[in-house]
Every structure is written in C-alpha cells, then in structure tokens.
Chain A
C-alpha cells in the first residue's frame, strides 16, 4: 500500500488500537494533522498546552495500562512536552509521543522552530528516534509501540521531519517484531525463586514491600494471593496505592517519608524484605545505611539495573512480576504455615494502635484530611483519584480508601506540579463511567489551568478539588520545620477567584468553608456532570504527618509538630 508519511502515522495508530490521541498542531506537524482531520479511526483531543497533551496521554495510560499517545509540533511544541516525557519516564508509563521536526534539508541550520529534539528527549525517554527516510517510518512506529509497552514500560519519542510526513512510500506494517538487541527477561530464574521462598519460610519478621511494578505488570491479584497464603504483612509505596486494598488488615499503609508509623517500623525491624517492583526511592528509604538494617532482601524487578542500584540484594530475581509471583504463589499454595508470623503481625498491629494515621479536627476550619476522607466515604471505589504534587498529594495517598490498582494516578518519581488536571482528563476519557477527581492545591492547579478549556470543550467532567491553604504548602511545611519559618516565596495569598475562573471557561465553581457546603458542592458537581472546581478553604498551617525528615531514618519519625513560637 502506497501512503504518504502522515497517512502512515494514522494507519500505524489504528493498527496499534489507539482510540484517542492528545495533541496540539503546528507548522512542522501540519501534514499529520491534515490526515487526522480526514480520518475517523481515533479521536483527537486538542489540549491548550503541549505539556497537558502528554500528561493527559499519561493519565490515560495509567488508567488503562495501554500505550498513551500524544502529538506535538517541533521546537517549542516539543520542548513544552519535555516535562510530560520526564514525568512518564520516571514512573515507567508506556507512551508514544510523536513530534514534528523541520524538513531534513533544514536540520542543522537553526531553522524556524528547529531544536535538537532527540538530543533533549534522550535522557527522559526509554528510547527515541529521528526518522530519516520514509522507508524506515513504518518500522520505527512499530518499534516505538513495542518498546513502550514491553519490558519495563516507558515513553518513546518519534521525531518526524516535515518532508518525511509528505513523502510517499510503501506501507508495510509488521505484525510482530523482535529486536536483536532488546530482549527483556520475563521469566524469573526458578532456582532463585526457590531460594527466595526458602528464605521466606525461615524468616520470622518478613515484610512485603510493594512497588509500582505490581501495577505496571497487572499482578495485584497475584500479590494479594501471595500475601493471603503466607500471612505476610505488606506496605505500599506511593505508586502501589490500591494494590492491596485499604480494608485488608495485613496492609500497614504507605511507607516512606509520609508513611504510616507501623509501615516504617515494619521496614526497620523486618528480618526479610520481599521487594516486589519498587525502586528504593530516597523518599521511601530515608537514610540508606539505616534502611532495613536487619533484613535480608529479596528484590524482584524486570529491569536488572533497578536491582542492586542502591543496596546489596541477597536474592535478586530479574523477571516479570506476573510470572515470578505466579511461581511464588505455586510454591506456597500447599504446606505453608502462616501462623509462624503471628507475633510479628501482632507487634505491627500494636504499633498501629499506638500511632495510627490521624489528624485533629477543628471546629473553626476545615481540615484537608477530612476533605479527602469525605470524598472517600461518598465516592469510594466509584472515583478515580488523580493528584498534583504537594501536601494534598500526600494527604490523598494517606487518607483516601484506595480499593484497587490504577485507582490512584499521581506523579510519583518526578513530582510534577500541573500533572493532576490533564491526567484526570486522560483518566476520565479512559474510564468515562467513573467519577474523575483531581485533588490539587492552590499552587499546582495554576500550572495547567488552561486545561479548563480542553475539558469544557470536550465535555470531560473532571472535578478539581482545591485544598486551598493560600500557601505552596509542602515547601511552607519544610520552611516551618527546617528554615525557622522564613517563608520565602511560598505565600500564595494573591489568588484568582477560582469560581469565576471556572465559570469564565464554561465550567462550574464552588467556594466552600464548611463540611455542609463541601457535601453540597460535591453532590451538585456530580449531579451536573460538568467540569467543576471546588475551592475548599482549609486550615492554612496544617502539616503532613507523620514525617521522616529528609536524610532521616524510617524508625525515627516526626509524629507531631508542636508550634513553640
């Protein structure tokens, strides 16, 4: 079949089963947009900034497990997309991002809207391509999708010069491909798995350290089964919220800087850590030399470079968690004495009773944690929760009753403010039957506020709940704790009227100061089913607790903060 380069892009997306792409046109990508105009195979959603295109495709990918697709133009179109690429890369999200480039004949001449895009995207993508001839375009597109979704997933960037998008060529889209130089290890070594199980049977105080890899590999059910069969308590990282489900007594909660006391104590006192797809991020481990000091470590990951990166691992297992966990489950199905960890479980229960996750209500002001809990009570499993980055993100992770994986969509590794709203749009497009909530802050929401237009235009009824404390709250908290309250550039008292702002775009808005007002606003927003902004005035100086100060140890948490001035 003879096609031009732009038609090849369209055909490739169709063959990959893409149902929606997010993007923004411009000079170098116009040929592709001309073909988008002519086709009906997938929906294109015009965001109002390229960064939001990428985050929306990212949110779509996180909610579905499918490859998210975004299309942008060259130069500034592409550079605007970089934060989105880096966000997806850090959290291993499968995406294909297509950018226009100036014609091959102009590359290297500092042409209008020319930038070395693949030079910029190299460190923040799993792989990238500059397409140099029409002949190689179909194969590159196939590879891009293959690489994005296989092994440890990640974003792949394809930069296509404008002349290539116009040239004609034979379109042979390969059904299957295999790359000589890229062969991820899917099956874990049976010998290593057996050894790990032996170690588990020997252990007295084992802990399951569940990471985002479980979500990415869709192996939550197996992780739960393994946990139930063995009776081993578990902690979840930020990226693994929802893997176990909030009502399971074996779940200690989130681990790390703002993790539960019992989670962090479990990590500190365990004699065996079973790490399933985490990254040993510094926000989880705290001071490395004190982290899991008494524990032997089993680490399962599909990416060999993740294993042993920061700590020596006693039982490394390279493989897809789905396969490895299936083997592990098979090995404990019969003949596993789960009573052997009873006193360990009792100890952790005790820890949780001494220092449960909590906050103090105040009759005067709404507490941000209450807002999260309330949404949890009212919507529970029916809502998919996205967040921006900061205090509200941590409170959402702590207090929302997550019941299943992919319910919580957040920028974990890169910590990208401005992620939440566009991601929540992608989530809503992917799962229209669920309510899409974006918990955000008065700082974060302004970083992609223009997406109100996208959401209204495309009838994507995201409900943004702003936990408004007139502060860049998380930085303010650190200034309170560690910088003698010198609030350098964190006072955000100067604000727009969020209600009018939302209305001016054609959405609805509420400003609420009491519980009753909040309930009414949320109910109204859900009933009206339109783009909404609920501006919630919350206690200005509330802190995220407990907290492991940066560089501190997990067993030495700040449990409460007493203002002595």
Chain B
C-alpha cells in the first residue's frame, strides 16, 4: 500500500436525524481513520458542516470521499486542501506551578486565559493543528491537569 497522507475533508450534509451515525458508522465499518471530527449546523440553512481529519493511502482517501458522497444526506464533500485550518484547545493548569513565561507563550499561540479560579487557570488557544500540537508540548511544563482539543475546522481560501 502506498504512503499515508493526512487530509482535511469538509462534508456538507442535510442536518437530520442520525446523520452523525451514518458518517461515523461509515468510517468504523470500513476501517477508516478519524483523527478529528467537528460538526455544527450551517447558519440559516438545513445543512450541517462536518470537518473530518483523516489519514490513509491515496486509494483509501479516494474511497472515503466517494463513500461520503454516496450517503443520501450528503450534499457535497470538499477535498480542497487550500484551506485555513484552525483548532481550538482548552488547558487547565494549577496555580500552584511556576507561571513564568506563560504570557509570552500564550501570545505566540493566540492564547488567552479563559477562566481563573482560586487554584487553577483555563487557557484557550486557537491556531493551526500542528501548532496546537506544539503548544501542548510546551505547556507541559506548567503541569496541566486537563487538556481538551476541539478538533479542526476549516474553510477554503477561495
């Protein structure tokens, strides 16, 4: 089998009962990978947009796209890779750790402090998926107690 590639697919589907299970079931039943999946309704329409990040050989990716298209509620599958792809991340860190350098790191990753309590902070960052991976590595030194990734969302540039 040829080398695996990473793809971001946007799938526009009728916003109806059990459409999520059709998509997740398709991936599970045919043994395809889902790296991340986000879904939300498209405002002022009957449609939802799934952003699915997947990995596979070219043949597998081609099949994924065709199988997604084959689902009756699927309006279209956007394969365009010339996209802005962003991911959101939430991290909880205890206030008991040394927070020096945190400000600079947050700035570098479009991050903010989203919430503060007596004993912890919740940080939020929005950035490219690979930079979010970096951020997770760097933030380790603050001994995070919880990390929540939002999964990618994407939009074609043109």
Contact = CB atoms under 8 A, between A and B. Distances in A.
Interface residues on B, range: 10 to 19
Contacts of B63: 305, 308-309
B18 A118 contact: yes
Interface in A111-139: 118-119, 122-123, 126-127, 130, 132
Of A147, A180, A303, A305, chain B has the most CB atoms within 10 Å of the CB of A305
Interface string B60-93: 0011001101101111000000000000000000
A543 B79 CA distance: 50
Nearest to B75: A181
B18 A130 contact: yes
B74 to A, nearest CB: 6
A147 B73 CA distance: 12
Nearest to B62: A308
B22 interface: yes
A132 B66 contact: no
Given A305-B63, A305-B66, A308-B59, A122 B72 contact: no
Interface of B: 13-14, 17-18, 21-22, 25, 29, 59, 62-63, 66-67, 69-70, 72-75
A494 interface: no
A287 to B, nearest CB: 15
Contacts of B62: 308
Contacts of B21: 119, 122
Contacts of A305: 63, 66-67, 69-70
A123 B18 contact: no
A118 B20 CA distance: 13
Given A123-B25, A304-B66, A305-B67, A130 B17 contact: yes
Nearest to A179: B72
Contacts of B22: 122
Contacts of A132: 17
Nearest to B69: A304
A482 interface: no
Interface of A: 118-119, 122-123, 126-127, 130, 132, 147, 179-182, 303-305, 308-309
B118 to A, nearest CB: 40
At the interface, is chain B mostly helix, strand, loop or mixed? helix
Contact of B72 (A182, A304, A308, A309): A182
At the interface, is chain A mostly helix, strand, loop or mixed? mixed
7 contacts: A118-B18, A123-B25, A132-B17, A179-B72, A181-B72, A182-B72, A304-B70
Nearest to A152: B70
A305 B22 CA distance: 16
Contacts of A123: 25, 29
A130 B62 CA distance: 30
Nearest to A181: B75
Contacts of A147: 72
Contacts of B13: 181
A161 to B, nearest CB: 13
Contact of B73 (A119, A130, A181, A308): A181
Nearest to B22: A122
A182 B29 CA distance: 22
Closest 5 CB pairs of A and B: A305-B66, A127-B72, A181-B75, A123-B29, A182-B72
A263 B18 CA distance: 45
A565 to B, nearest CB: 41
B26 to A, nearest CB: 8
Nearest to B29: A123
Given A123-B25, A123-B29, A180 B75 contact: yes
A179 B72 CA distance: 9
Nearest to A130: B17
Of B13, B21, B69, B72, chain A has the most CB atoms within 10 Å of the CB of B72
B25 A303 contact: no
A501 to B, nearest CB: 39
Given A147-B72, A308-B59, A122 B66 contact: no
B66 A181 contact: no
A126 B73 CA distance: 12
Contacts of A181: 13-14, 72-75
A534 to B, nearest CB: 41
Of A123, A147, A181, chain B has the most CB atoms within 10 Å of the CB of A181
Contacts of B59: 308
Contacts of B75: 180-181
